[in-house]
Structure 1
Amino acid sequence: MKTLNPLILLLFIAFSSCSKEKMSSKKQWFKGNLHTHSYWSDGDEFPEIIMDWYKSNDYQFVALTDHNTLAEGDKWITISGDSIYQKAFKNYLNTYGSNWVNHRMDSLNQIQVKLKTYNEYKTKFEEDGKFLIIQSEEITDHFNNKPIHINATNVKQKINPQGGNSVLEVMQNNLDAAAKQKKALNIPMITHINHPNFGYAIGLEEMKALKNEQFFEVYNGHPTVHNSGDADHMSTEMMWDYINIAYIENNKPLMYGLATDDSHHYHRKGSKWSNAGRGWIMVQADSLNPKSLINAMEAGQFYASTGVELKDLSFKNNMLFVEVKEDKNTTYKISFIGCKKGQGEPEEFATNEGNKANFKLTNEMLYVRCKITSSKLHQNPIEDLLFENAWTQPFTFSE
C-alpha cells in the first residue's frame, strides 16, 4: 500500500484545518426558547415529550427552566386522574417503552412515574450542530408576595433563592449568586429577568437600579404576565426603552430583550393556557453550543420574535438594515424606535411599509432599535398581542 509523502500529508492536514476553521467561523441563525417548564416543577408534561415537540418544530436549542430545581436526582410524580393526563401517560409509555419509562402503582392505585434527569433525556435528543439542550433554572423568589423570577441559563449547580429586604435587593442578591457561580466555575452563563409585569412586581425604578444585568423578557407567552401593562403600568416594551435611556446615561451596558414561551401547559391550548411556540429568540452564532450562543447574546447578536423571521439583519457604519423573510399575502410595518440625547423620552424615528428598511443612526441619538409588526395573526395569541412581531436589539452610535 502506498503512503503519502510526509510534506504532502502535512499540507493536507493544514488545508483541512483551515477549511474547517473557515466553515465554523461562518455565523448561522439558531432558534431557541430559554423559558420552559416540565413535570420537574409546575409544567404538565415529561421532559422528553417537550424536547421532542421543540425539536420537531425546528428549534435548535431549548432550556428547561423549572422553579428552584435542576433535573437531577430521584423524583417521582403521580399522574392526575384526569383523562387528559392518563391518555398522555399512555402515549409517553407507548412512545418510549417500559424499558425507558420507570413507573409503578401506589397504594391508592395511582400511577407514579420516575422522571428522567437532564443527563438522561438529553442523550435522546441532542445532535451536534442540530439540537442543544441547555441546563437552566428559574430562580423563584419573592418580596411581600411580589413574585420575583430570574432565569439562569447554563447553570451547573442549583441556585437557591437568596431573599432580601426589598424587590431590588432580592433581584440583585439572586443575580449576584448566579454571577458568583459563573466566576467560580469559569463557565459561560447568563441571567435574565422574567416577566417584570407578572403581579406588577418589578417596576421601572428597580430595573433601572440593577447592576450587571443585560437581559429581560420584553415578551413572555404566559397569559397572566401583563406584557401590555394596564392603565397604571407601562408595557414591558415601553419599560425596555426607559431602562436603556437610563443605562446609557449611567454608562451601563445595554439591556437586551428576549421573547420566551414560559410554557407550562401541553395538553390544553388557547389564550388561557401557557403554551409552547409563542415566543423565541434567533441567535446569530458561529456554532451550536452554550459558549457560542451566550457570547453572541452578550454581544447583542440576536433578535426576539413571536412569528416574524428576518432574512437579513445588520448594523454597519451606524446603519441599521432589516429585511423580513416574507410570508405570502402578508404586509409588514418596520418601525425604528429610540431616543435623542437630552430628551429622556423614547420616540418613533421612522416607519416603513414593506419587507425591508434601513435607518441611519447619528451621534445625536442615544440608541435605535427596530420593531417589525406583521399583518399575520399570531396562531395562539395572548392579551391584545394579536399579530406576529419581531424586535431587534438596541444599537448605539460608534465614532
Structure 2
Amino acid sequence: MIDTFTAPGRFFRGNLHTHSNVSDGLLPPEEVCRRYAAEGYDFIALTDHFVGRYGYPIVDTTAYRTDRFTTILGAELHSGAQANGELWHILAVGLPADFAPGNAPDFKPVEGQETGPEIAARAVAAGAFVAIAHPQWSGLTLADARSLEAAHAVEVYNHGCRVGCDRADGFAIADLLLTEGRRLSLVATDDAHFTEPDHFGGWVMVKAAENSPEALLAALKAGHFYSTEGPELRSVAVTGDAVEVECSAAATIIVQGRGAAAVACHGGSMTRARLPLDARCAASPWLRVTVVDAAGRRAWSNPHWR
C-alpha cells in the first residue's frame, strides 16, 4: 500500500502556493490567511516573490495561526535564466525567516546571479520542500527540469495558470522525469493572487500526525500526501498484478505508468475499483493514480515505485 495511506495521523488540507500584496497579490497576508481558514483549509504557505522589487520577502505569518489553522513560511524563488531566457520560478515551502537573498532585483535574469538549480539547492539545504513551479506556464524544457536536481516535487496542477492562461499542466515534465528515475512527488496548488478567480481550486491533502508546520513539512518531504481539485483518495494499494483504489464518488479511475502505460475503468459513482495491470503497466517501475469525478474534477496520487 502507498505510504500516504498507511502513515500515522490524519489528512490536512493545504495550499502551498499563495501570494499577498507584499508582492503582486491583491490582499494583505492577514486577509489571505483568514480567507483560506474560512474556506476550511487547515494550512497555507504564503509564498511571495523573492525578488528585490519587493524586498526579498519571507512573510511572517505566525500571528495568523490558530488552534485549527497553521501556516508554513515560504517564498517563490527567482534566479537565473531557463533555456527560453526567462527567470526561474521555484516554490520553496518551509524556508527559514533569514534565508539569504540572492541577486534577483526583478523578474529578469541578470549577469552573475545564482542559477535556478543553485538557489533551489540552497533552499533544500536550508530545510525547505522545493517544487518546480508551473512548468507549462514557464515554458520549461525537459533539460531545464533535469537540471533542477534538488527538487522534491513538480507542480502538476496550478489553478491560477488554468484560470489566467489555460497553462495549468506539469504532468508531461513530471512523467518524463519519473521515467528517468527521478523520485519526485506531485503537487496541486492555487498560485492565488486574488486578482481573478484563482483560489480554492487545487490543493494537497497531507497525512501527518498533527497540524504543525514541522509535521506537515516532514510529511511533504516524505511524499505522504495526494493532490486534488476536489475528489478524495482514501486508499491506493498496488499488488503484483493489480491496483486497488478507494475514493469518493468517481466516474473514471486511471492507473498511469511509464510511456503509454495506462489502464482505466469507468462507471457511475464508483467508490472502489480493482484495475488489473496490462503488460505495459506491469513493466513500469512506477505507477500513479488519477481519479475523475462526474464534474471532471481530478485527484492524483503520488507515484508508487515498484
Partner of 2:157: 219
Distance (Å, rounded) in 2 between the aligned partners of 1:375 and 1:243: 30
1:158 equivalent among 94, 99, 102: 99
Distance (Å, rounded) in 1 between the aligned partners of 2:174 and 2:21: 32
Partner of 1:10: none
Distance (Å, rounded) in 1 between the aligned partners of 2:238 and 2:289: 15
Question: CA offset at residue 173 of structure 1?
Answer: 1.0
Question: CA offset at residue 360 of structure 1?
Answer: 6.1
Distance (Å, rounded) in 2 between the aligned partners of 1:171 and 1:154: 18
Gaps of 5+ in 1: 1-24, 76-116, 183-188, 229-234, 267-272, 340-344, 377-386
Question: CA offset at residue 162 of structure 1?
Answer: 5.8
Partner of 2:129: 190
Rate the CA distance shift 1:357–1:208 in 2: closer, same or farther, 3 A. Answer: farther
Provide Cα deviations, 1:67-97, integer angstroms capped at 9, x if missing partner: 0169x99x9xxxxxxxxxxxxxxxxxxxxxx
Question: CA offset at residue 225 of structure 1?
Answer: 5.7
Partner of 1:245: 179
Provide Cα deviations, 1:97-123, integer angstroms capped at 9, x if missing partner: xxxxxxxxxxxxxxxxxxxx955x533
Aligned amino acid, residue 26 of structure 2: D
| Contact 2:261 2:284 (8 Å CA) reproduced | no
Partner of 2:77: 139
Rate the CA distance shift 1:165–1:45 in 2: closer, same or farther, 3 A. Answer: closer
| Secondary structure at the counterpart of residue 141 of structure 1 | coil
Partner of 1:355: 271
Matched, 1:315 2:237: yes
| Contact 1:33 1:62 (8 Å CA) reproduced | yes
| TM-score normalised according to structure 2 size | 0.81
Superposition pairs for residues 38-187 of structure 1, below 5 Å?
Answer: 38-68=20-50, 118-119=59-60, 122-123=62-63, 125-128=64-67, 130-143=68-81, 145-156=85-96, 157-161=98-102, 170-182=115-127
**Larger radius of gyration, structure 1 or 2?**
1
Relative contact order, higher structure (CA 8 A, sep 6+): 2
Distance (Å, rounded) in 1 between the aligned partners of 2:124 and 2:290: 31
Partner of 1:263: 192
Gaps of 5+ in 2: 1-6
Aligned amino acid, residue 133 of structure 1: T
Question: CA offset at residue 159 of structure 1?
Answer: 4.2
| Secondary structure at the counterpart of residue 115 of structure 2 | helix
Provide Cα deviations, 1:23-69, integer angstroms capped at 9, x if missing partner: xx941000000100001100011111111111011100101100016
Distance (Å, rounded) in 2 between the aligned partners of 1:256 and 1:352: 26
1:370 equivalent among 273, 279, 289: 289
